[in-house]
Amino acid sequence: MFEKVREQIAELLGIEAATITADSSLITDLKADSMDIATLLLEVEEKYGIEINEDEIENLKTVGDIVKYIEANKK
C-alpha cells in the first residue's frame, strides 16, 4: 500500500518517489500546499473507495498517516 501511495504522491507533486518515506510530512518535507493535499485526498477516496471525513483530514499529516487511514477504511 505504501508503494502505491508513494507513487501517487510523487506523480502529483512532480518529485522522485525515492525521496518519500512513510514519515515524510506532506507540508514540511514534500512542500505540498492545500490544493495539492485536497487533490491527493480526492484521488485516494476515488481509488480506494473510501470517504475521508473533514474532521480526520487534519490528522493526515504524513504519508504513513494516509496509508494507515486507507488500510483501516478501505472496503
**How many angstroms separate the CA atoms of 65 and 72, rounded?**
11
Our answer to whether residue 23 is catalytic in this structure is no
Separation between Cα atoms, residue 11 and residue 16, nearest integer Å: 8
Q: How far apart are CA 21 and CA 42, in angstroms?
A: 21
Q: Which of 33, 36, 55, 65 is catalytic?
A: 33
- Residue 62 dihedral angles phi and psi, to the nearest 5°: -120, 165
Amino acid at position 24, single letter: S
What is residue 40's predicted lDDT score, i.e. its pLDDT?
96
> What tens digit of pLDDT does each residue of 11-69 get?
999 999 999 999 999 999 999 999 999 999 999 999 999 999 889 999 999 999 999 99
- Which pLDDT value is given to residue 74? 85
